[in-house]
Amino acid sequence: MENDPRAAVWMAVARRCRQSNSQFSAAFVDALAQAAVLVAENLGRDVESFARHARRAKVSTY
């Protein structure tokens, strides 16, 4: 479990939910953690795509 990023996200979300309100169910924590992992995965794909594009094209800022 210590090498599983999804488990680490789940634990962080659960810890934060417990700190703010003890009424959250395990199903809610699961859904929230899955959403956080999905956002992180999509961000990773976007960064990889940008890096591939940047290697192919001359990038300049004006």
Domain segments of the chain as ranges: 5-56
Q: Read off the DSSP letter of residue 2.
A: T
33 neighbors 10 (Cβ within 8 angstroms): yes
pLDDT for the residue 60: 65
Listed as ranges, residues in the chain with pLDDT below 70 are 1-2, 57-62
How far, CA to CA in Å, does 41 sit from each of 14, 23, 27? 20, 28, 21
How far, CA to CA in Å, does 50 sit from each of 3, 14, 26, 61? 27, 33, 36, 15
Tokens at 37, concatenated: 């992992």
